[in-house]
Structure 1
Amino acid sequence: MISKKDLSERDICTKFITPAIRKAGWDIQTQVLEEVSFTDGRILIRGKMVGRGKQKRADYILYYKSNIPVAIVEAKDNKHTVRAGLQQAIEYAQILDIPCVFSSNGDSFLWHDRTATGEDLETEIDLDNFPSPQVLWEKYKQYKGISTEEAERIVLQDYYTDISGKRPRYYQQIAINRTIEAIAKKQNRIMLVMATGTGKTLTAFQIVYRLWKAGVKKRILFLADRKILVYQADKTFDYFKNVKTTVVNRKVDKSYELYFALYQGLSSSEEEKNTYKQFSPDFFDLVIIDECHRGSANEDSAWREILNYFKKATHIGLTATPKETTEASSSEYFGDPIYTYSLKQGIDDGFLAPYNVVRIGLNVDLDGYRPEKGKRDKYGLLVEDRIYNRKDFEKNLVIDERTDLVARKVAEFMKVTDRYSKTIVFCVDIDHAERMRSALARHNADLVKENYKYVMQITGDNEEGKRELDNFINPEERYPVIATTSKLMTTGVDAQTCKIIVLDSNIQSMTEFKQIIGRGTRINEEFGKLYFTILDFRNVTDLFADPQFDGDPIRVKELGEGDDITDVLEDEIDGEPEDIEREIKPVSIRMAGTIVQSPGRKVYVNNVDVSVLMEREMFFDYQGKPVTSSLKDYTANTIKSEYKSLDEFLSKWNTAERKKAIIEELTEKGIPVEQLQNAIGRELDLFDLICHAAYDMPPLTRRDRANNVKKRNYFTKYGEKARQVIEALLEKYADEGVETIEDTKVLNLDPFNKMGTPLEIIKVFGSKEKYLQVIKELEKELYQLNA
């Protein structure tokens, strides 16, 4: 008879844990999910190789209803104690917002109750006494403060599910449930902060669906400040097609239940055109405010008047970047966010694309530009004699050669990566975007000749460009490939396949920076979009180091009686947040008999020497913060935080089932393998890079290690054909590294394919197990330190 100690973890689940849960009254088909991966695994970039890290996986998640997770169970085999899985389960429960945590080894359960504060915090219970769904539902209600029957009824309303039965992601589920629970408890001002690309609109749809189905919110207004946001939301809310409408041309039909509208279409400086007043103040039960950090965040804005008019309704603000300035505060109006899902979390979970950063410094930017004596601009007027720097370029002073060099560097990068990578170039203003489009067209003349839409200016004033916005964001459409813009594409542009973001604008606002980075964070695996690259010409990516970049917003607006709060609408022009400054021809004035430029106008000059002084790739630690120390120092500190000594590292390396697992683990920790190889030696594998960088050991190349093995004649005990295979494996190691020889797929490659099929080669060693044992012996020989 097989001992329980000899059973695998999966056997323990099947024979003991699942039956115990079923016996307690849980429906295994509808209320229990087993082996649930609730993240996708962080995307790891190693040179040209892209893979994924480990997914977070729970052994069991128990749902009272399909939308409400109430417990998590972590299983271990019987060689472990009943407590062995508890810490990991508690960590997952905190992430998933679940109150009850269980660990089991098949003997009993250890119950960690997050609602408890005393001796009953952790209790061991036998297999026959696992709590019923109703018991854990009561715990959940206590945890969430759900105290009335009406609140319970609202909370229990199901999600909308299509024929695929696909569930919201875990963070969407939390955002939806917390919002429903807050409204059930009569909270009327709510803010959700979710990073760009994490599905705010889909989350809003599920919230609206559940509240509408529960009969709590019968008439809903979805407010936005961009046509594209309204269009995207309208598509997402297609379920409501028979009861929804969009307010256009200031015409209102009050027979619908769900309304989409632009602020600009509801309000006007002329009282008689304030369309929103065609509705009674209590017409809407719920108002969803998309991108709520924008105009309506300002207390004295015209757009805030709309919210104040419908003040009896519940207001839900959605944003990736809440605004907290001395003039405007999102949290002052909505309260602190009831849930935040940040860019860092999204990247760590593998739902958002990570980024590479290439910093390019131009001489005129880094050293400044001072015009020579008597320098005249393109219109023949004298240029003011002073030092111009990065903040001046394109705003006060335009240097043709600088614009051209930025365009050339972008084109060069695309030529060595992919010339059809969707690319957004963020410029200072529309004039800059126009000239950048022209410069990029010159440096991509061959592709522009094939299709003039290869590069397009997409700005608020350019109707042809705006018509191409949908094609730019459509993965199925090849053109446009490059879009030059200033403000129009910072928010609400769902560019799933954008692989390059170019920063040539002096972005200082953290809100705007986050929004711009968000244009690249969406993933589309079908079209090969797993990460993106930022080409930074203005050192804007210094903002990554700012604690505010991925921290909680801090309220900085001070309120007092009689405060004079100015309206800062971020250049809202007819509803399009776009700087519409055009190229303004200079007006000349005469000073002491000399004609010079008038102040406050752009100066356009050429025949200036502009060159690249610095170009380097930045790298980031596993928390997403830029690394400022040297590669070697950063690697040494990171390695030593994991392995205190060389012996500890060697023990881990030598006992690892597969070296690839250690490599992936260290890559997840942010060890920049590709950069290290470039800096120290591409012919070294990770073992030598680590031992050298962290423990000052002299490195050996892969070729040296392979030759050392050959000299020792260790494999003479094998027959001739087996030795041929081993010799070929050593060559593969010398050329490509240990990961290649660990994968049996190597046997499909040259020269193995000339020795026979993979099965025939493995049979030379007797069996697959014996072949894998030879690989382990080979690795042991390769990594001998005294060789």
Structure 2
Amino acid sequence: MDPEAQARRNIDRQLVAAGWVIQDAKAIDLSAGLGIAVREFPLTGGFADYLLYVDEKIAGVIEAKPEGHALIGVELQSGKYLAGVPKRLPAWASPLPFAYESTGVETRFTSTLDAVPRSREVFTFHRPDELLRLLRLGPAGQVRTRLASLPPLVPTRLWAPQIEAIENLEKSLAEGRPRALIQMATGSGKTFTACSFCYRLLRHAGAKRILFLVDRNNLGKQTESEFQNYQSPENQYKFTEEYPVQRLSGSAGVAGASKVVISTIQRLYATLRGEELDDEADEGSLFESGDATLRKEPMPVDYKPGFPIETFDFVVIDECHRSIYNLWRQVLDYFDAFLIGLTATPTDQTLGFFHRNLVQDYSHARAVADGVNVGYDVYRIETQITQQGAKLAKEPGVMVPHRSRLTREKRYKELENDVTYTANQVGKDVISGDQLRLVIKTFRDRLPTEIFPGRTEVPKTLVFAKTDNHAEELVDVIRQEFGKGNEFCQKITSKSHRSPDDLLAEFRTAYFPRIAVTVDMIATGTDVKPLECLLFMRSVGSGPYFEQMKGRGCRVVDPAELKQVTSDAVIKDRFVIVDAVGVCERDKTESCPLDRKPTVGLDKVLDLAGKGVADADLASALAAKLTRLDRKLTPEQRQTIEQAAGGQSIASLAADLLSAADADAAAQQAATDHALASAEEATEEQIAAAESDRAREALRPFRKTELRDAILATSRVADIVYDEQNLDALLGAGFDAAARAKAEGQLADFRQYLEENRDRLEALQILYSKPYRAGLRLRHVKELREQLRAALKLAEPVPQLWRLFEAVEPDRVARREGDAVVDLVALVRHALDRASPLVPVRQTIHQRYDAWLAQCAAGGRVFTADQRRWLDAIRDHVAESLTIAPDDLEYVPFNAMGGLGAAHRLFGPQLPEILAELNTALAA
């Protein structure tokens, strides 16, 4: 078969799959279907390879070329045919609206209905009913036309970076740019931004349907909630009251009425394949499992008639992880849609995939400067076992605790040999109770003295563990060392005893739990605004994934909301990473790739199988690993796997996988599937499709979580060993040098600002004066605060500057309570006189008040109980406002005590003198 004939054969197959009826020019029957593709149709300028009839009128042409032929240069030829339809023939328009150029492997499409017709590559041909829909919309109704004339954005409930992102995105879409990337820092409102532009695309651009891809299933629930709560700025309706939102689940597929479909990429792929996906297969993050695989190319995708390429007009990719454009790339290429990426942590590859069309670049640094994010400090805890591991010596008669990974049964037995374990094995293969206790004790003891000085409550803390078993041990140790009950610390993983969503909601809004331990469930995207501390008990090799994990702590929170869950917290102006494993010090890659060599772990291979990956390489690798494993198993372990596999033995599973990877068998199946003659060989494409089908069938049992867990439980070291011999030693604990240097630099900027503006701002003129002149007022201090906000990019100057002094000179900084703006006076005074301690203004005024009372008593002035009650209230007013005037006695709290009249009756003519004395004696 010559190349052009082969191309036409492939085109025929694709047209039939898309619902077209293929006919010859001499035997046209327009009643045979909605869409008729007529071969070799004579036109004014020559013969069209295919003329497309839609609803008995000519709508377009297909120009066929042999495989490998460049198609963009063919567009002129197609264009001639569009205008070459004889006038007497029924046509939708002249020139014709649609043109395709295709080799059967590559296809390009142009719609002249668009305001600016531009060809684009498509996976295959559109269905006839889709072209009919576009025809009925007319030129003015096309999405790509309407994108160029969207109404002005209504900025209600949007702030500047969100407005900028939406307007820049819409400009990019109006220009017809197929891909756009929005970078917005964690906590800056990416999802709300996405809801806003999705609403506009549906309401004003006429989008048929939007796909919203999320990193994991629980983020899909969170996104669905965002859409449900989104209120239109144009008519006040909720989003879901106007447009149905569907979260893809099971095998039901996309509902016809849905306007937004939320899914993970692996569930979307399973739906595209018409397959079931284990409920837990999209619980894990792509950031956690890594995206590079044993595969040599992306996941294979075949056309599915019930899931045509026009299903979505836009695809929004939230947290566009590297696997989106590696492993799953062809899933996205399948749809004839614009791609819109959302991320807080773009890599070079991300930018490359989105054609470097970065329509918004709102980084974490900008978000911190704007007060949308908070920065972080790193507090390092180093212990000997954490860094070096240890050795468990075999001793006759000494029983060592072991725990079965499969049943969690704990047994005591002698070691068969010495066990030397590395730092990487700590928490995974070996549990060192003393290492856990030492880290948690150090964390507990340093919380109120160094990490969060003066705080009495444990801040909301998230602990990252290595495994679910490690998380169990950590929860137990944390409860013991803090002396608290079950509610104080909870594990939140996919294996939690309660719904992870319920636990997460409590962690977010309730007082308990104070500490949550997770493996990766809360590592990406999950919103816990009151979170102030992250404790890393595991390392991370991926740079973007680590940034995602750090992002859990950077969200700002309203002080009132923070106080609801942590009553002694004043304001969240930073979060602290407590690094117990050196994760902040290690170099990190842009992703967590798997080695394509046989050293790839069984857990990663099984994870890929669970996510729907299926090819001969993966089947072969898994078969080899299962064969090796089978030789090591006990009869009981084999039985456990067989039960999980529905009666199929591990040997049988491996045999099926090996058979699926057999290239000769795949070629034979391809020949059978395509009914090839004995002398005719299957094409590489046909063989690849057969290999994929065979691998998918053999890998199907591994979609079940129960089987994967059973295999992993038996594949690891039989038991987790508990080290009770070696005592750990604390090597060091404290904020890292970088954090201290950063704080010192910011304080230097603060001092420089004070010096440069000492003659410009009235507050500084008074505070710099020597001798000190009175007259400082609250308005002066508030003016200085606003100036500092703008000049030093400090969202809340008072608590942030106080925290900087705590980091640099903790021994000279007193605990600050409340949220008094007048403490800026104390900060300025301490900056000008470094030898003086930094204490809150309230504390200073209380001390001066006590000294004034003592001086009065020494001079024979004694106050009654009622007078003391008034004087105490005046003291508290000065502590908040810096001064007191007679008119102030008419307001809270004095009005409840009788106001100015009651004060005059109580103090008589001495009242003005007493107020003047207090203003002088207590002056800050």
Deviation at 1:488, TM superposition (A): 1.7
> Is 1:538 aligned with 2:580?
yes
- The verdict on how the C-alpha distance between 1:769 and 1:221 changes in structure 2, with shifts beyond 3 A counting, is farther
Name the CA distance, whole Å, in 2 between partners of 1:335 and 1:232: 29
Residue of structure 1 aligned with 2:437, choices 379, 404, 415:
404
Q: Please say if residues 398 and 605 of structure 1, whose CA atoms lie closer than 8 Å, have aligned partners that are also in contact.
A: yes
Residue in structure 2 matched with residue 155 of structure 1 by the alignment: 150
Name the CA distance, whole Å, in 2 between partners of 1:678 and 1:254: 63
SS state of the match for residue 233, structure 1? Answer: helix
Residue in structure 1 matched with residue 332 of structure 2 by the alignment: 307
Q: Please say if residues 508 and 540 of structure 1, whose CA atoms lie closer than 8 Å, have aligned partners that are also in contact.
A: no
- The verdict on how the C-alpha distance between 1:755 and 1:276 changes in structure 2, with shifts beyond 3 A counting, is same
Deviation at 1:710, TM superposition (A): 7.3
Residue of structure 2 aligned with 1:513, choices 526, 538, 546:
546
Residue in structure 2 matched with residue 223 of structure 1 by the alignment: 213
Q: Please say if residues 319 and 341 of structure 2, whose CA atoms lie closer than 8 Å, have aligned partners that are also in contact.
A: yes
- The verdict on how the C-alpha distance between 1:383 and 1:204 changes in structure 2, with shifts beyond 3 A counting, is farther
Residue in structure 2 matched with residue 424 of structure 1 by the alignment: 462
Residue of structure 2 aligned with 1:260, choices 250, 259, 262:
262
Name the CA distance, whole Å, in 1 between partners of 2:612 and 2:801: 39
Name the CA distance, whole Å, in 2 between partners of 1:384 and 1:420: 40
Residue in structure 2 matched with residue 316 of structure 1 by the alignment: 340
Residue of structure 2 aligned with 1:339, choices 336, 360, 363:
360
Flag structure 1 segments of 5+ consecutive residues without an equivalent.
1-148, 558-565, 578-583, 589-596, 620-624, 783-787
AA of the residue aligned to 2:184: M
Equivalent positions of 1:21-60 (< 5 A) are: none
Deviation at 1:221, TM superposition (A): 1.2
- The verdict on how the C-alpha distance between 1:603 and 1:250 changes in structure 2, with shifts beyond 3 A counting, is same
Q: Please say if residues 845 and 879 of structure 2, whose CA atoms lie closer than 8 Å, have aligned partners that are also in contact.
A: no
Name the CA distance, whole Å, in 1 between partners of 2:484 and 2:830: 47
Residue in structure 2 matched with residue 100 of structure 1 by the alignment: none
Deviation at 1:329, TM superposition (A): 3.4
- The verdict on how the C-alpha distance between 1:352 and 1:686 changes in structure 2, with shifts beyond 3 A counting, is closer
Deviation at 1:223, TM superposition (A): 1.6
- The verdict on how the C-alpha distance between 1:603 and 1:256 changes in structure 2, with shifts beyond 3 A counting, is same
When the two structures are superposed, what TM-score results if normalisation uses the length of structure 1?
Answer: 0.58
Equivalent positions of 1:480-495 (< 5 A) are: 480-495=513-528
Q: Please say if residues 186 and 344 of structure 2, whose CA atoms lie closer than 8 Å, have aligned partners that are also in contact.
A: yes
Deviation at 1:396, TM superposition (A): 5.3
Residue of structure 2 aligned with 1:528, choices 547, 559, 562:
562
Deviation at 1:292, TM superposition (A): 1.0
When the two structures are superposed, what TM-score results if normalisation uses the length of structure 2?
Answer: 0.50
Q: Please say if residues 230 and 260 of structure 1, whose CA atoms lie closer than 8 Å, have aligned partners that are also in contact.
A: yes
Name the CA distance, whole Å, in 2 between partners of 1:247 and 1:700: 57
Write the deviation string for residues 19-46 of structure 1: whole angstroms up to 9, x where unpaired. Answer: xxxxxxxxxxxxxxxxxxxxxxxxxxxx
Name the CA distance, whole Å, in 1 between partners of 2:485 and 2:497: 23
- The verdict on how the C-alpha distance between 1:195 and 1:771 changes in structure 2, with shifts beyond 3 A counting, is farther
Name the CA distance, whole Å, in 2 between partners of 1:682 and 1:170: 38
Write the deviation string for residues 118-165 of structure 1: whole angstroms up to 9, x where unpaired. Answer: xxxxxxxxxxxxxxxxxxxxxxxxxxxxxxx96786332554x9xxxx
Deviation at 1:266, TM superposition (A): 2.0
Residue in structure 2 matched with residue 455 of structure 1 by the alignment: 489
- The verdict on how the C-alpha distance between 1:169 and 1:412 changes in structure 2, with shifts beyond 3 A counting, is same
Equivalent positions of 1:43-442 (< 5 A) are: 154-159=149-154, 166-238=156-228, 239-241=239-241, 242-252=243-253, 253-268=255-270, 273=275, 277=304, 278-293=306-321, 295-297=323-325, 299=326, 301=327, 303-310=328-335, 312-324=336-348, 328-333=349-354, 335-353=356-374, 355=376, 358-365=379-386, 368-371=388-391, 378-379=401-402, 380-381=414-415, 388-389=422-423, 391-395=424-428, 397-409=430-442, 417=455, 422-442=460-480
AA of the residue aligned to 1:211: L
Q: Please say if residues 393 and 419 of structure 2, whose CA atoms lie closer than 8 Å, have aligned partners that are also in contact.
A: yes
Residue in structure 2 matched with residue 24 of structure 1 by the alignment: none
Write the deviation string for residues 208-266 of structure 1: whole angstroms up to 9, x where unpaired. Answer: 11111123422211122322222222222232455333332222233433322222222
Equivalent positions of 1:709-724 (< 5 A) are: none
Which deviates further from its counterpart, 391-400 or 674-683?
674-683
SS state of the match for residue 406, structure 1? Answer: helix
Residue in structure 2 matched with residue 680 of structure 1 by the alignment: 812
Q: Please say if residues 382 and 732 of structure 2, whose CA atoms lie closer than 8 Å, have aligned partners that are also in contact.
A: yes
SS state of the match for residue 202, structure 1? Answer: helix
SS state of the match for residue 438, structure 1? Answer: helix
CA RMSD of aligned residues (A): 5.7
Deviation at 1:203, TM superposition (A): 0.9
Which of the two has greater helix per residue?
2
Q: Please say if residues 195 and 343 of structure 1, whose CA atoms lie closer than 8 Å, have aligned partners that are also in contact.
A: yes
Residue of structure 1 aligned with 2:734, choices 616, 624, 642:
616
Which deviates further from its counterpart, 664-673 or 196-205?
664-673
- The verdict on how the C-alpha distance between 1:699 and 1:195 changes in structure 2, with shifts beyond 3 A counting, is closer
Q: Please say if residues 251 and 274 of structure 2, whose CA atoms lie closer than 8 Å, have aligned partners that are also in contact.
A: no
Q: Please say if residues 434 and 457 of structure 1, whose CA atoms lie closer than 8 Å, have aligned partners that are also in contact.
A: yes
- The verdict on how the C-alpha distance between 1:473 and 1:262 changes in structure 2, with shifts beyond 3 A counting, is farther
- The verdict on how the C-alpha distance between 1:457 and 1:675 changes in structure 2, with shifts beyond 3 A counting, is closer
Residue in structure 1 matched with residue 529 of structure 2 by the alignment: 496
Deviation at 1:538, TM superposition (A): 2.4
Q: Please say if residues 706 and 731 of structure 1, whose CA atoms lie closer than 8 Å, have aligned partners that are also in contact.
A: no
- The verdict on how the C-alpha distance between 1:769 and 1:720 changes in structure 2, with shifts beyond 3 A counting, is same
Residue in structure 1 matched with residue 740 of structure 2 by the alignment: 627
Which deviates further from its counterpart, 686-695 or 665-674?
686-695
- The verdict on how the C-alpha distance between 1:773 and 1:276 changes in structure 2, with shifts beyond 3 A counting, is farther
SS state of the match for residue 222, structure 1? Answer: strand
Deviation at 1:429, TM superposition (A): 2.3
AA of the residue aligned to 1:519: R
Name the CA distance, whole Å, in 1 between partners of 2:484 and 2:846: 46
Which deviates further from its counterpart, 641-650 or 436-445?
641-650
- Which of structures 1 and 2 has the bigger CA Rg? 2
Write the deviation string for residues 59-92 of structure 1: whole angstroms up to 9, x where unpaired. Answer: xxxxxxxxxxxxxxxxxxxxxxxxxxxxxxxxxx
SS state of the match for residue 245, structure 1? Answer: strand
Deviation at 1:607, TM superposition (A): 3.0
Q: Please say if residues 292 and 330 of structure 1, whose CA atoms lie closer than 8 Å, have aligned partners that are also in contact.
A: no
Name the CA distance, whole Å, in 1 between partners of 2:197 and 2:467: 38
Write the deviation string for residues 370-416 of structure 1: whole angstroms up to 9, x where unpaired. Answer: 43765786453377686844x55324543121123334455667898
- The verdict on how the C-alpha distance between 1:751 and 1:320 changes in structure 2, with shifts beyond 3 A counting, is closer
Deviation at 1:769, TM superposition (A): 12
Q: Please say if residues 315 and 339 of structure 2, whose CA atoms lie closer than 8 Å, have aligned partners that are also in contact.
A: yes
SS state of the match for residue 249, structure 1? Answer: coil
Q: Please say if residues 503 and 534 of structure 1, whose CA atoms lie closer than 8 Å, have aligned partners that are also in contact.
A: no
- The verdict on how the C-alpha distance between 1:683 and 1:443 changes in structure 2, with shifts beyond 3 A counting, is closer
Residue of structure 2 aligned with 1:639, choices 751, 763, 766:
751
- Identity over aligned residues, as a percent? 21
Q: Please say if residues 462 and 533 of structure 2, whose CA atoms lie closer than 8 Å, have aligned partners that are also in contact.
A: yes
Deviation at 1:633, TM superposition (A): 8.1
